[in-house]
A = this chain, B = another copy of it.
């Protein structure tokens, strides 16, 4: 017998909806700023940021990039193609694994990232952190970090047969 379906109480619902709406609105706001200043989509910015800021070497394998950005592989191939065409990254076969492709940010990529970053943080500051105190920000980070780790660890569901899209 299956467990009783755990329904959400009103507080949880509030938190869930607020979370999704804030993330959506924030993404929209950021997207607009990125487009204006650097002609970048949010995904492209995420990729550059991950390469230029998170990675100490400036390189990552395609798969790791895709996972980090919560993105499909084929979509990443497409975007990596665009970024490469714009000379913001290079793609080279990995030395240790012939199948893998290493994506590396170029100087131009770093330059664009630097150009875009101030406005980006400005939007985040104003839109997200304006209503939050320093303490609030810490509380938020402390609440969400475990959730992120939990979700990373627990894949949503075992693969199931796909139906045709509606």
Interface residues of A in 126-166 (CB under 8 A from B): 126-132, 134, 136-141, 143-152, 154, 156-157, 160, 162-166
* CA gap between A160 and B35 in the complex, in Å: 10
Asked if A36 CB lies within 8 Å of chain B CBs, one says yes
Q: Is A93 an interface residue (CB 8 A)?
A: no
The total of chain A residues at the interface (CB under 8 A) is 72
* A27 proximal to B (CB < 8 A): yes
Q: Which residues of B contact A154 (CB under 8 A)?
A: 126-127, 130
- For residue A124, CB closer than 8 A to chain B, the reply is yes
Determine which residue in A40, A132, A150, A151 has the highest number of CB atoms from chain B within 10 A of its CB, and name it. Answer: A151
**B156 pairs with A132, CB closer than 8 A:** no
In this complex, the member of A134, A136, A138, A144 whose beta carbon has the largest number of chain B beta carbons within 10 angstroms is A144
The SS class assigned to the A binding surface is helix
Please, which residue of chain B has its CB at the minimum distance from the CB of A140?
B15
Contacts of A143 in B (CB 8 A): 132, 136, 139-140, 143
Query: What chain B residues lie within 8 Å of A11 (beta carbons)?
Result: 134, 137-138, 141
Determine, out of A16-24, A57-65, A102-110, the stretch whose residues face the partner at the interface.
Answer: A16-24
Contacts of A130 in B (CB 8 A): 150, 154
With A18-B145, A145-B14, A160-B36: A150-B137 Cβ-Cβ less than 8 Å? no
B121 touches A5 (CB 8 A): yes
| In the complex, A28 has a CB within 8 A of chain B | yes
